[in-house]
Amino acid sequence: MANHPRPAAFSDDAFPLQAVTGTIIAGAFAVFERFGYGFLESVYRRALAVELRHRGVQVLQEVKYELFHRGEPVGCYKADMVVGCSEHVAPAHSTVVQRLPKPKRLLSP
């Protein structure tokens, strides 16, 4: 079998969270390989948290963010999971990775 060279990584300036994103994706594949399909989302979410901690990544679950509009509170957003790094990353169960501020205020004036 031919040994194909690995594509060059994108610059950290353009994609500063690529390392943690790669770890999240690898963790999700590991969980799927272990459990397959058919369980409730909560099982996969907890298993992914365990897998990411095993890989040395800080994980917070069910983190609440207060939402503000023009300086007034208008509601709350609860992230299922927040992965710790200099800026938090919330891996959504639809495999989209979002950059979030540190827990306290999601939006401010």
The C-alpha atoms of residue 83 and residue 109 are separated, in whole angstroms, by 26
Domain layout of the chain by residue ranges: 18-100
Higher pLDDT: 66 or 94? It is 66
The C-alpha atoms of residue 19 and residue 25 are separated, in whole angstroms, by 10
Q: What's the whole-number mean pLDDT along residues 1-29? A: 76
Q: Indicate whether 9 pLDDT > 50.
A: yes
Whole-model pTM?
0.66
Q: Are 77 and 65 in contact (CB under 8 A)?
A: yes
Of the candidates 50, 52, 1, the one whose C-alpha atom is nearest the C-alpha of residue 26 is: 52
Of the candidates 100, 68, 74, the one whose C-alpha atom is nearest the C-alpha of residue 85 is: 100
The C-alpha atoms of residue 39 and residue 54 are separated, in whole angstroms, by 21
Q: Are 67 and 61 in contact (CB under 8 A)?
A: no
Q: What share of the chain is helix, strand, coil (3-state, %, to 5)?
A: 30, 30, 40
Q: Reduced to 3 states, what is the DSSP secondary structure of residue 32?
A: helix
Q: Indicate whether 62 pLDDT > 50.
A: yes
